[in-house]
Amino acid sequence: MRSPIPDYLAEALGSVEFDQSGATADYIPELADADPDRLAVSFCTEDGRRYSQGDADVEFSIQSISKPFVYALALADRGFDEVLAKVGVEPTGDAFNELSLEPGTGRPLNPMINAGAITVHTLVGPPGATPEARNERIVDGLSAFAGRRLRVDQRVYESEISCAYRNRALANMLRANEIIDEGPLVAVAGYTRQCSLLVTVEDLAMMAATLANRGVNPVTGAPVVPAAVVRQTLSVMATCGMYDGAGDWMTRVGIPAKSGVSGGLIGALPGQAGIATFSPRLDRHGNSVRGVDLFRRFTSDMGMHLMEVPPAGPSVVRSRREFGHGPSGVEVVSLQGEIRFAGAERIVRELADAPPTRKRVAINLMRVSSVGDVGRRMILEAVRRLTLDGHDVYLIDPDRVLPDPDPGEGGRVTVVSGRDDIRRLMSK
Ligand SMILES: NC(=O)CC[C@H](N)C(=O)O
Protein backbone atom coordinates (compact mmCIF):
# COMPACT_ATOMS: atom_id res chain seq x y z
CA MET A 1 0.00 0.00 0.00
CA ARG A 2 1.15 3.57 -0.69
CA SER A 3 1.05 5.77 2.41
CA PRO A 4 -1.67 8.44 2.24
CA ILE A 5 0.39 10.91 4.29
CA PRO A 6 2.55 12.38 1.45
CA ASP A 7 -0.64 12.85 -0.61
CA TYR A 8 -2.31 14.64 2.27
CA LEU A 9 0.70 16.95 2.71
CA ALA A 10 0.84 17.71 -1.02
CA GLU A 11 -2.85 18.52 -0.99
CA ALA A 12 -2.38 20.79 2.06
CA LEU A 13 0.39 22.72 0.27
CA GLY A 14 -1.87 23.03 -2.78
CA SER A 15 -4.60 24.58 -0.66
CA VAL A 16 -2.38 27.50 0.47
CA GLU A 17 -0.19 27.83 -2.60
CA PHE A 18 -2.06 30.73 -4.20
CA ASP A 19 -2.07 32.94 -1.12
CA GLN A 20 0.43 35.73 -1.82
CA SER A 21 -0.42 37.93 1.13
CA GLY A 22 2.23 39.19 3.51
CA ALA A 23 5.79 40.21 2.73
CA THR A 24 9.32 38.95 3.28
CA ALA A 25 11.20 40.53 6.18
CA ASP A 26 12.62 43.79 4.89
CA TYR A 27 14.96 44.81 7.70
CA ILE A 28 17.54 42.15 6.77
CA PRO A 29 18.60 42.73 3.13
CA GLU A 30 19.40 39.05 2.42
CA LEU A 31 15.95 38.00 3.63
CA ALA A 32 14.17 40.74 1.68
CA ASP A 33 15.67 39.19 -1.47
CA ALA A 34 14.57 35.63 -0.70
CA ASP A 35 12.29 33.87 -3.19
CA PRO A 36 8.86 34.56 -1.64
CA ASP A 37 7.16 31.66 -3.43
CA ARG A 38 9.04 28.87 -1.71
CA LEU A 39 6.72 26.49 0.08
CA ALA A 40 7.55 23.33 2.00
CA VAL A 41 6.35 21.09 4.80
CA SER A 42 7.91 18.25 6.75
CA PHE A 43 6.64 15.95 9.49
CA CYS A 44 8.99 13.86 11.62
CA THR A 45 7.36 11.27 13.88
CA GLU A 46 8.61 10.57 17.39
CA ASP A 47 10.13 7.34 16.09
CA GLY A 48 12.00 9.14 13.33
CA ARG A 49 9.98 8.67 10.12
CA ARG A 50 9.93 11.80 7.94
CA TYR A 51 7.34 12.91 5.37
CA SER A 52 8.10 16.00 3.31
CA GLN A 53 6.60 17.88 0.37
CA GLY A 54 7.44 21.00 -1.65
CA ASP A 55 10.81 22.77 -1.42
CA ALA A 56 11.98 20.46 1.32
CA ASP A 57 15.66 20.58 0.42
CA VAL A 58 15.95 24.37 0.18
CA GLU A 59 18.15 25.86 2.88
CA PHE A 60 17.26 29.08 4.68
CA SER A 61 18.55 30.75 7.83
CA ILE A 62 16.97 29.50 11.03
CA GLN A 63 16.53 32.99 12.58
CA SER A 64 14.33 33.03 15.69
CA ILE A 65 13.62 29.32 15.50
CA SER A 66 17.09 28.97 17.04
CA LYS A 67 15.78 30.62 20.22
CA PRO A 68 14.02 27.66 21.90
CA PHE A 69 16.89 25.31 21.08
CA VAL A 70 19.56 27.65 22.42
CA TYR A 71 17.36 28.20 25.49
CA ALA A 72 17.32 24.42 25.97
CA LEU A 73 21.12 24.28 25.70
CA ALA A 74 21.54 27.11 28.24
CA LEU A 75 19.19 25.36 30.69
CA ALA A 76 21.09 22.11 30.25
CA ASP A 77 24.50 23.81 30.63
CA ARG A 78 23.80 26.24 33.48
CA GLY A 79 20.74 24.89 35.25
CA PHE A 80 17.31 26.48 35.72
CA ASP A 81 18.20 28.86 38.57
CA GLU A 82 20.95 30.64 36.72
CA VAL A 83 18.97 31.04 33.52
CA LEU A 84 15.73 32.08 35.24
CA ALA A 85 17.59 34.68 37.28
CA LYS A 86 18.42 36.43 34.02
CA VAL A 87 15.40 35.79 31.78
CA GLY A 88 11.72 35.45 32.77
CA VAL A 89 8.97 33.27 31.31
CA GLU A 90 6.13 35.77 30.90
CA PRO A 91 4.54 36.41 27.49
CA THR A 92 4.92 40.08 26.54
CA GLY A 93 2.17 40.80 24.06
CA ASP A 94 4.85 42.93 22.36
CA ALA A 95 6.67 42.50 19.08
CA PHE A 96 9.74 40.25 19.02
CA ASN A 97 12.20 43.13 18.92
CA GLU A 98 10.49 45.40 21.46
CA LEU A 99 12.85 47.44 23.64
CA SER A 100 11.23 46.34 26.88
CA LEU A 101 12.57 44.84 30.08
CA GLU A 102 10.71 43.76 33.21
CA PRO A 103 10.27 46.74 35.52
CA GLY A 104 12.11 46.22 38.79
CA THR A 105 14.41 43.36 37.81
CA GLY A 106 15.49 44.64 34.39
CA ARG A 107 15.23 41.05 33.09
CA PRO A 108 13.95 40.37 29.60
CA LEU A 109 10.42 39.01 29.96
CA ASN A 110 11.01 35.75 28.10
CA PRO A 111 13.61 33.92 26.00
CA MET A 112 11.64 34.13 22.73
CA ILE A 113 11.87 37.92 22.31
CA ASN A 114 15.21 39.25 21.10
CA ALA A 115 16.24 40.78 24.45
CA GLY A 116 15.76 37.38 26.10
CA ALA A 117 17.41 35.45 23.30
CA ILE A 118 20.52 37.66 23.28
CA THR A 119 20.82 37.09 27.04
CA VAL A 120 20.25 33.34 26.71
CA HIS A 121 22.93 33.22 24.02
CA THR A 122 25.48 34.42 26.60
CA LEU A 123 24.44 31.63 29.01
CA VAL A 124 25.40 28.69 26.81
CA GLY A 125 28.40 26.56 27.73
CA PRO A 126 30.35 26.56 30.98
CA PRO A 127 30.70 29.86 32.88
CA GLY A 128 33.57 31.87 31.42
CA ALA A 129 33.47 30.14 28.02
CA THR A 130 35.00 32.24 25.24
CA PRO A 131 32.62 33.60 22.58
CA GLU A 132 34.19 31.16 20.09
CA ALA A 133 33.65 28.17 22.38
CA ARG A 134 30.08 29.27 22.94
CA ASN A 135 29.41 29.61 19.21
CA GLU A 136 30.86 26.14 18.74
CA ARG A 137 28.67 24.69 21.48
CA ILE A 138 25.61 26.23 19.79
CA VAL A 139 26.48 24.83 16.35
CA ASP A 140 27.17 21.41 17.92
CA GLY A 141 23.99 21.49 20.00
CA LEU A 142 21.67 22.60 17.19
CA SER A 143 23.31 20.04 14.90
CA ALA A 144 22.54 17.33 17.46
CA PHE A 145 18.88 18.42 17.44
CA ALA A 146 18.90 18.32 13.62
CA GLY A 147 20.83 15.05 13.27
CA ARG A 148 23.33 16.56 10.82
CA ARG A 149 26.11 19.13 10.85
CA LEU A 150 24.68 22.64 10.36
CA ARG A 151 26.70 25.60 9.06
CA VAL A 152 26.45 29.38 9.23
CA ASP A 153 25.46 31.35 6.13
CA GLN A 154 28.11 34.07 6.17
CA ARG A 155 26.14 36.31 3.78
CA VAL A 156 23.05 36.31 5.92
CA TYR A 157 25.21 36.93 8.97
CA GLU A 158 26.94 39.91 7.42
CA SER A 159 23.74 41.25 5.97
CA GLU A 160 22.03 41.26 9.36
CA ILE A 161 25.01 42.43 11.40
CA SER A 162 25.51 45.39 9.03
CA CYS A 163 22.21 46.84 10.22
CA ALA A 164 21.63 45.26 13.65
CA TYR A 165 21.04 48.65 15.26
CA ARG A 166 18.04 47.58 17.21
CA ASN A 167 19.60 44.39 18.60
CA ARG A 168 22.66 46.42 19.60
CA ALA A 169 20.38 48.85 21.41
CA LEU A 170 18.82 45.90 23.24
CA ALA A 171 22.22 44.48 24.15
CA ASN A 172 23.36 47.86 25.44
CA MET A 173 20.30 48.05 27.67
CA LEU A 174 20.99 44.53 28.90
CA ARG A 175 24.59 45.43 29.68
CA ALA A 176 23.57 48.65 31.43
CA ASN A 177 21.21 46.62 33.62
CA GLU A 178 23.94 44.02 34.27
CA ILE A 179 21.85 41.25 32.78
CA ILE A 180 24.67 40.35 30.43
CA ASP A 181 28.20 40.75 31.66
CA GLU A 182 30.11 41.02 28.43
CA GLY A 183 30.47 43.43 25.54
CA PRO A 184 27.09 44.11 23.85
CA LEU A 185 28.66 43.87 20.40
CA VAL A 186 30.09 40.43 21.13
CA ALA A 187 26.71 39.20 22.38
CA VAL A 188 24.90 40.52 19.29
CA ALA A 189 27.52 39.03 16.97
CA GLY A 190 27.10 35.59 18.56
CA TYR A 191 23.31 35.81 18.59
CA THR A 192 23.24 36.90 14.93
CA ARG A 193 25.55 34.02 14.03
CA GLN A 194 23.17 31.58 15.74
CA CYS A 195 20.28 33.06 13.69
CA SER A 196 22.29 32.57 10.47
CA LEU A 197 22.57 28.80 10.73
CA LEU A 198 21.22 27.19 7.57
CA VAL A 199 18.46 24.60 7.84
CA THR A 200 15.90 22.91 5.62
CA VAL A 201 12.33 22.27 6.62
CA GLU A 202 13.36 18.64 7.17
CA ASP A 203 16.06 19.69 9.65
CA LEU A 204 13.51 21.80 11.50
CA ALA A 205 11.01 18.93 11.65
CA MET A 206 13.67 16.68 13.18
CA MET A 207 14.68 19.38 15.65
CA ALA A 208 11.05 19.76 16.70
CA ALA A 209 10.66 15.97 16.85
CA THR A 210 13.60 15.84 19.27
CA LEU A 211 11.63 18.16 21.56
CA ALA A 212 8.50 16.05 21.01
CA ASN A 213 10.55 12.96 21.92
CA ARG A 214 11.66 14.14 25.40
CA GLY A 215 14.98 15.51 24.12
CA VAL A 216 16.22 12.39 22.34
CA ASN A 217 16.82 12.72 18.59
CA PRO A 218 14.45 10.10 17.14
CA VAL A 219 16.71 9.28 14.19
CA THR A 220 20.22 9.31 15.65
CA GLY A 221 19.12 8.23 19.15
CA ALA A 222 21.37 10.92 20.66
CA PRO A 223 20.15 12.33 24.00
CA VAL A 224 20.41 16.08 23.31
CA VAL A 225 18.85 17.69 26.41
CA PRO A 226 17.13 16.27 29.54
CA ALA A 227 13.34 15.81 29.69
CA ALA A 228 12.91 18.55 32.33
CA VAL A 229 14.57 21.02 29.97
CA VAL A 230 12.22 19.97 27.18
CA ARG A 231 9.19 20.57 29.39
CA GLN A 232 10.41 24.08 30.20
CA THR A 233 11.22 24.84 26.56
CA LEU A 234 7.89 23.59 25.20
CA SER A 235 6.02 25.57 27.86
CA VAL A 236 7.77 28.77 26.84
CA MET A 237 7.12 28.01 23.16
CA ALA A 238 3.42 27.49 23.93
CA THR A 239 3.07 30.81 25.76
CA CYS A 240 5.59 33.05 23.96
CA GLY A 241 6.63 31.35 20.72
CA MET A 242 4.38 33.37 18.43
CA TYR A 243 5.08 36.79 20.00
CA ASP A 244 2.06 39.08 20.16
CA GLY A 245 0.10 36.43 18.22
CA ALA A 246 0.68 33.83 20.97
CA GLY A 247 -2.84 33.80 22.48
CA ASP A 248 -4.54 33.51 19.11
CA TRP A 249 -2.09 30.75 18.18
CA MET A 250 -2.56 28.72 21.36
CA THR A 251 -6.34 28.86 21.18
CA ARG A 252 -6.66 28.15 17.46
CA VAL A 253 -3.73 25.80 16.85
CA GLY A 254 -2.74 24.59 20.31
CA ILE A 255 0.74 23.28 19.47
CA PRO A 256 3.94 24.64 21.11
CA ALA A 257 5.58 26.50 18.24
CA LYS A 258 8.23 28.94 17.10
CA SER A 259 8.42 31.14 14.05
CA GLY A 260 11.34 32.88 12.37
CA VAL A 261 11.55 35.91 10.06
CA SER A 262 12.99 33.89 7.20
CA GLY A 263 9.61 32.12 6.95
CA GLY A 264 10.16 28.94 8.94
CA LEU A 265 7.66 27.72 11.50
CA ILE A 266 7.95 24.70 13.79
CA GLY A 267 5.51 22.92 16.06
CA ALA A 268 6.35 20.17 18.53
CA LEU A 269 3.53 17.85 19.51
CA PRO A 270 4.76 16.05 22.64
CA GLY A 271 4.92 12.30 22.24
CA GLN A 272 3.81 12.42 18.61
CA ALA A 273 5.71 14.47 16.04
CA GLY A 274 7.70 17.51 15.01
CA ILE A 275 6.21 19.62 12.22
CA ALA A 276 7.88 22.34 10.15
CA THR A 277 6.74 24.61 7.34
CA PHE A 278 8.59 27.12 5.19
CA SER A 279 7.06 30.05 3.31
CA PRO A 280 8.81 33.44 3.48
CA ARG A 281 5.93 35.95 3.34
CA LEU A 282 5.15 37.14 6.86
CA ASP A 283 2.13 38.61 8.63
CA ARG A 284 2.33 41.71 10.82
CA HIS A 285 3.59 39.67 13.80
CA GLY A 286 6.51 38.33 11.75
CA ASN A 287 4.97 34.84 11.41
CA SER A 288 4.76 33.04 8.05
CA VAL A 289 1.30 33.61 6.53
CA ARG A 290 0.99 30.29 4.74
CA GLY A 291 2.79 28.48 7.58
CA VAL A 292 0.17 29.66 10.08
CA ASP A 293 -2.58 28.57 7.69
CA LEU A 294 -1.04 25.14 7.25
CA PHE A 295 -0.77 24.63 11.00
CA ARG A 296 -4.41 25.65 11.46
CA ARG A 297 -5.34 23.09 8.89
CA PHE A 298 -3.23 20.32 10.46
CA THR A 299 -4.79 20.94 13.86
CA SER A 300 -8.35 20.84 12.61
CA ASP A 301 -7.81 17.89 10.25
CA MET A 302 -5.86 15.79 12.71
CA GLY A 303 -7.02 16.86 16.18
CA MET A 304 -3.56 18.08 17.22
CA HIS A 305 -4.65 20.77 19.69
CA LEU A 306 -2.97 19.97 23.00
CA MET A 307 -6.06 20.85 25.00
CA GLU A 308 -8.18 18.46 23.01
CA VAL A 309 -7.83 14.91 24.32
CA PRO A 310 -9.58 11.77 23.15
CA PRO A 311 -12.56 10.68 25.27
CA ALA A 312 -11.54 8.60 28.29
CA GLY A 313 -11.05 4.96 27.33
CA PRO A 314 -12.51 2.02 29.28
CA SER A 315 -11.83 1.99 33.01
CA VAL A 316 -8.29 1.00 34.00
CA VAL A 317 -9.85 -1.54 36.35
CA ARG A 318 -10.82 -4.15 33.79
CA SER A 319 -12.14 -6.76 36.21
CA ARG A 320 -12.00 -8.08 39.75
CA ARG A 321 -12.35 -11.83 40.03
CA GLU A 322 -12.15 -14.17 42.97
CA PHE A 323 -10.68 -17.65 42.75
CA GLY A 324 -10.95 -20.33 45.43
CA HIS A 325 -12.22 -19.88 48.96
CA GLY A 326 -10.89 -19.01 52.37
CA PRO A 327 -7.17 -18.72 53.04
CA SER A 328 -6.17 -20.34 49.78
CA GLY A 329 -8.39 -18.04 47.73
CA VAL A 330 -7.13 -15.09 45.73
CA GLU A 331 -8.69 -11.97 44.24
CA VAL A 332 -7.23 -10.91 40.91
CA VAL A 333 -7.59 -7.20 40.14
CA SER A 334 -6.89 -6.82 36.42
CA LEU A 335 -5.81 -3.40 35.16
CA GLN A 336 -5.51 -2.13 31.61
CA GLY A 337 -4.25 0.75 29.43
CA GLU A 338 -2.16 3.71 30.49
CA ILE A 339 -2.09 4.50 34.19
CA ARG A 340 -1.67 8.19 34.94
CA PHE A 341 -3.32 10.26 37.65
CA ALA A 342 -6.96 9.61 36.73
CA GLY A 343 -6.40 5.88 36.25
CA ALA A 344 -4.48 5.53 39.50
CA GLU A 345 -7.25 7.36 41.35
CA ARG A 346 -9.75 4.88 39.96
CA ILE A 347 -7.68 1.93 41.19
CA VAL A 348 -7.25 3.20 44.74
CA ARG A 349 -10.88 4.33 44.85
CA GLU A 350 -12.15 0.86 43.95
CA LEU A 351 -9.85 -0.87 46.44
CA ALA A 352 -10.83 1.59 49.18
CA ASP A 353 -14.59 1.48 48.49
CA ALA A 354 -14.77 -2.31 48.11
CA PRO A 355 -11.80 -3.85 49.94
CA PRO A 356 -10.75 -7.33 48.80
CA THR A 357 -12.19 -10.13 50.92
CA ARG A 358 -9.61 -12.84 50.11
CA LYS A 359 -6.33 -12.85 52.01
CA ARG A 360 -4.33 -12.98 48.81
CA VAL A 361 -4.67 -10.15 46.30
CA ALA A 362 -3.02 -10.20 42.86
CA ILE A 363 -2.76 -7.01 40.84
CA ASN A 364 -2.62 -8.06 37.21
CA LEU A 365 -0.66 -5.70 34.96
CA MET A 366 -0.66 -7.92 31.86
CA ARG A 367 -2.83 -5.53 29.86
CA VAL A 368 -1.25 -2.33 31.13
CA SER A 369 0.62 -0.44 28.42
CA SER A 370 2.43 2.11 30.56
CA VAL A 371 2.54 3.39 34.11
CA GLY A 372 3.33 7.06 34.72
CA ASP A 373 5.21 8.24 37.80
CA VAL A 374 2.08 9.02 39.80
CA GLY A 375 0.55 5.70 38.67
CA ARG A 376 3.57 3.86 39.97
CA ARG A 377 3.55 5.60 43.32
CA MET A 378 -0.17 5.10 43.86
CA ILE A 379 -0.11 1.40 42.93
CA LEU A 380 2.81 0.82 45.31
CA GLU A 381 1.06 2.75 48.06
CA ALA A 382 -2.04 0.60 47.49
CA VAL A 383 0.20 -2.50 47.80
CA ARG A 384 1.61 -1.15 51.07
CA ARG A 385 -1.81 -0.40 52.52
CA LEU A 386 -3.18 -3.79 51.47
CA THR A 387 -0.21 -5.44 53.22
CA LEU A 388 -0.88 -3.43 56.38
CA ASP A 389 -4.53 -4.55 56.17
CA GLY A 390 -3.25 -8.14 56.37
CA HIS A 391 -3.19 -9.17 52.70
CA ASP A 392 -0.49 -11.03 50.80
CA VAL A 393 -0.03 -9.00 47.64
CA TYR A 394 1.20 -10.20 44.26
CA LEU A 395 1.98 -8.27 41.09
CA ILE A 396 1.40 -10.17 37.85
CA ASP A 397 3.84 -8.36 35.60
CA PRO A 398 5.45 -10.48 32.88
CA ASP A 399 6.42 -7.42 30.77
CA ARG A 400 7.87 -5.48 33.71
CA VAL A 401 5.70 -2.42 33.26
CA LEU A 402 6.39 -1.71 36.94
CA PRO A 403 10.08 -2.49 37.37
CA ASP A 404 11.69 -2.76 40.84
CA PRO A 405 8.47 -2.45 42.83
CA ASP A 406 9.27 -1.26 46.34
CA PRO A 407 6.13 -0.54 48.35
CA GLY A 408 8.15 1.01 51.20
CA GLU A 409 7.71 0.83 54.98
CA GLY A 410 5.49 -2.08 56.02
CA GLY A 411 4.63 -3.16 52.47
CA ARG A 412 5.50 -6.44 50.81
CA VAL A 413 4.92 -7.69 47.31
CA THR A 414 5.75 -10.78 45.28
CA VAL A 415 6.25 -10.32 41.55
CA VAL A 416 4.85 -13.15 39.47
CA SER A 417 6.04 -13.13 35.89
CA GLY A 418 6.46 -16.69 34.63
CA ARG A 419 3.54 -18.22 32.74
CA ASP A 420 3.30 -21.25 35.05
CA ASP A 421 3.50 -19.13 38.18
CA ILE A 422 0.69 -16.96 36.90
CA ARG A 423 -1.44 -20.00 36.13
CA ARG A 424 -0.71 -21.51 39.53
CA LEU A 425 -1.67 -18.30 41.32
CA MET A 426 -4.99 -18.01 39.50
CA SER A 427 -5.91 -21.67 39.81
CA LYS A 428 -5.81 -21.85 43.58
N1 LIG B 1 11.85 36.81 14.60
C2 LIG B 1 13.04 36.55 14.14
O3 LIG B 1 13.24 35.56 13.43
C4 LIG B 1 14.10 37.58 14.38
C5 LIG B 1 15.52 37.04 14.21
C6 LIG B 1 16.46 38.08 13.72
N7 LIG B 1 17.78 37.53 13.63
C8 LIG B 1 16.45 39.32 14.62
O9 LIG B 1 17.10 39.32 15.61
O10 LIG B 1 15.80 40.29 14.35
ipTM score of complex: 0.96
Q: In terms of domains, do 208 and 125 share one? A: yes
pLDDT confidence band for 313 (50 / 70 / 90): confident
Judged by DSSP in three states, 275 sits in: strand
The answer for residues whose C-beta is within 8 angstroms of residue 98's C-beta and 6 or more apart is: 92, 113, 115
% of the chain beyond a pLDDT of 70: 100
Q: Is the pLDDT of residue 343 over 60?
A: yes
How far away, in angstroms, is 229 Cα from ligand 1 center? 23
**Strand partners for 55:** none
Least confident of 124-138, 260-274, 307-321: 307-321
Count of the separate structural domains present in the chain: 2
Q: Average pLDDT for residues 243-264, to the nearest whole number?
A: 91
Q: Average pLDDT for residues 329-352, to the nearest whole number?
A: 95
Q: Average pLDDT for residues 391-415, to the nearest whole number?
A: 94
Q: In terms of domains, do 183 and 237 share one? A: yes
In a domain, 309, yes or no: no
DSSP classification of residue 320: E
Q: In terms of domains, do 102 and 185 share one? A: yes
- Report the distance separating Cα 142 and Cα 132, nearest Å: 15
User: Of 204, 267, 206, which is closest to residue 50 (Cα–Cα)?
Assistant: 206
Q: In terms of domains, do 225 and 339 share one? A: no
Q: Is the pLDDT of residue 428 over 70?
A: no
Half-sphere exposure of 423 (CA within 13 A, CB side): 3
Ranges of H-type helices in 39-183: 66-78, 80-86, 114-121, 131-146, 154-161, 165-176
DSSP classification of residue 369: E
Q: Can you give the pLDDT at residue 213?
A: 97
Domain around 248: 5-302
Q: Average pLDDT for residues 291-316, to the nearest whole number?
A: 92
Q: Can you give the pLDDT at residue 93?
A: 74
- Report the distance separating Cα 145 and Cα 219, nearest Å: 10
pLDDT confidence band for 383 (50 / 70 / 90): very high
Judged by DSSP in three states, 10 sits in: helix
- Report the distance separating Cα 180 and Cα 172, nearest Å: 9
Q: In terms of domains, do 268 and 397 share one? A: no
Radius of gyration of the chain (CA): 26
For residue range 209-224, list pLDDT tens digits in order. Answer: 999 999 999 999 999 9
Q: In terms of domains, do 295 and 330 share one? A: no
Pocket test for ligand 1, best of 26, 94, 96, 161 (most atoms within 8 A of CB): 96
Least confident of 88-92, 255-259, 266-270, 380-384: 88-92
Catalytic residue among 64, 143, 259, 334: 64
Query: Does ligand 1 have an atom closer than 6 angstroms to the CB of 96?
Result: yes
Strands 50-54 and 40-45: antiparallel
Q: Is the pLDDT of residue 402 over 60?
A: yes
Which of the given ranges, 16-30, 84-98, 218-232, has the highest pLDDT on average? 218-232
% of the chain beyond a pLDDT of 90: 85
Choice between 392 and 34, residue whose per-residue pLDDT is larger: 392
Q: In terms of domains, do 32 and 159 share one? A: yes
Query: Does ligand 1 have an atom closer than 6 angstroms to the CB of 66?
Result: no
